[in-house]
Structure 1
């Protein structure tokens, strides 16, 4: 039995030896952080480490992958926009200084080791850059009548991750729903923290005030300037009175025009310069038309 076990172990070692030698001869890469997240204008380290290799001086390359692949490190030196703000660290890792939002994306670390059986290896590092929001753009109506709906807007397009929004009235934060706070029971608004809208279904006099919005993410926050919104009462009696006055004026104008027509103020006699009136014919005179003599008259008592 002992002999058979030794034979089986020997055969197993013979079978595993090629695999072990392949493992030893293969270049292998690892990373301490495959998804680094940094703030804009900070320092970013893209970790790429050679775990195993038999090549003393492997070739190192870094590329940024996207619609168009760009070389970051090639031929032993930095390329493109990275020349003055990036360098290699620990032989293969990449450090980028003063990171901008344009630097986010996938970077590929490639190592070529000619003396290894598996001469090449690569890993992808996904760099995320967080951006602080800028001052959002706010739109607040200047005046709204009581009982009407109104919407206030707050938008910011620079921050990453996308910011959330908080509204303030007279420097006091507003809840997401007015009904959720006893202090705002007399109001009727809701806030969408993702889109930045503050919507009133029916504004009340108590909603008058100075409004501003703050956009925030995990990097920072920014706010817009305060804007005044006035809520005023509708003067129904005044509106009705104004309409009646307008109708009365229109009625008087119509009556005046009708009277003027009746009195002939707007009748205009036009006479053509070449026109003439035919003389009235005396009673008892008949006119006969002839080609030679023209018209001649005769009395009814004329007898042939």
Structure 2
């Protein structure tokens, strides 16, 4: 067949090349499937058009920059070997999906007689995992005017959980100043880390606090814990200090008086006290009113 008038060899080659490109044409209704863990998911890959009777079909997985075979030479490969199957001759069905199945998958279909003529579709599979009960830490008691930090965290959910704190039955906003109901409070909430920070607590902040972790797969909450806010009794503290000082003063005065009265005087080696010295043998001194001095009660023996 002669080429149409005005058609050069280059244009003819381009037309022929276009025919070979469309030898296989694929279609998918959903290239971003999402499924909960342990459920079934189908990666739909449909041959919309082909010029070959026996196309070669392959599935590959790309994760962390590495490519591995999922379906090759009519056999399911790797960790999907006992959990997947090919449906309708081309679509990939995964049973009991696991969080390890997250990643990019590529469906490749090539003409059997010419492996260079092929088409492909890439899928981004997301396997969501429900959060577990988060670990919550709430201070038991905080004095008025002091800061306080509440923590909420769980590490099993996928995608990563978003956190929301509740006081009694009221959901706390990200910032207390953004809601007129909490203008008397001063806190900020980080919904990504689950940290609730009070710069200064007041009596109105006292109550039962619980946290809910949630993502696309579901949610989980921790048990409510009481945050008690109490007044710092400055008068009582000062009074207690004064009482302790007074007791110490009284003890010191008592010890000084006891020293002055000789209750703590040391004894002589022979057991006699310095206060009651022994008298001289044979002499007894008496003082009389008519004598201005001592006189002997008995004479010395010469």
TM-score of the aligned structures, taking structure 1 as reference length = 0.72
**Partners of 2:198 and 2:96 in 1: CA distance:** 44
Tell whether 2:80 aligns with 1:82: yes
Q: Tell me: CA distance 1:235–1:16, structure 2 relative to 1, closer, same or farther (3 Å).
A: same
What is the match of residue 34 of structure 2? 37
Match of 2:144 among 143, 146, 151: 146
What is the match of residue 211 of structure 2? 213
What is the match of residue 156 of structure 1? 154
Q: 1:242-280 CA deviation, whole Å, 9 max, x = no partner?
A: 22333445556667778889979598999xxxxxxxxxx
**Partners of 1:181 and 1:109 in 2: CA distance:** 50
Q: 1:33-72 CA deviation, whole Å, 9 max, x = no partner?
A: 3332333333222233345544322332222223554332
**Partners of 1:237 and 1:189 in 2: CA distance:** 29
Match of 1:108 among 99, 106, 109: 106
Residue 157 of structure 1 deviates from its aligned partner by 2.4
Range with greater deviation from structure 2 (198-207 or 120-129): 120-129
Contact 2:26-2:49 at 8 Å conserved across structures: no
SS class of match (1:118): strand
**Partners of 1:177 and 1:117 in 2: CA distance:** 60
Range with greater deviation from structure 2 (203-212 or 191-200): 191-200
Residue 24 of structure 1 deviates from its aligned partner by 3.1
Q: 1:85-130 CA deviation, whole Å, 9 max, x = no partner?
A: 2111232221112222111101232334341372455443221222
SS class of match (2:57): strand
Q: 1:4-49 CA deviation, whole Å, 9 max, x = no partner?
A: xxx9952327654433333334443534233323333332222333
**Partners of 2:111 and 2:263 in 1: CA distance:** 113
Residue 197 of structure 1 deviates from its aligned partner by 2.3
Contact 2:110-2:116 at 8 Å conserved across structures: no
SS class of match (2:96): coil
**Partners of 1:258 and 1:31 in 2: CA distance:** 103
Contact 1:54-1:115 at 8 Å conserved across structures: no
Aligned-residue CA RMSD in angstroms? 3.3
What is the match of residue 58 of structure 1? 55
What is the match of residue 299 of structure 2? none
**Partners of 1:97 and 1:266 in 2: CA distance:** 96
The 5 Å alignment of 1:1-304 reads 9-12=4-7, 15-26=10-21, 27-32=23-28, 33-67=30-64, 68-116=66-114, 118-251=116-249
Gaps of 5+ in 1: 1-6, 271-304
**Partners of 2:85 and 2:4 in 1: CA distance:** 50
TM-score of the aligned structures, taking structure 2 as reference length = 0.72
Range with greater deviation from structure 2 (194-203 or 23-32): 23-32
The total of aligned residue pairs comes to 264
**Partners of 1:96 and 1:266 in 2: CA distance:** 97
Gaps of 5+ in 2: 270-302
What is the match of residue 274 of structure 2? none
SS class of match (1:60): strand
Q: Tell me: CA distance 1:266–1:60, structure 2 relative to 1, closer, same or farther (3 Å).
A: farther
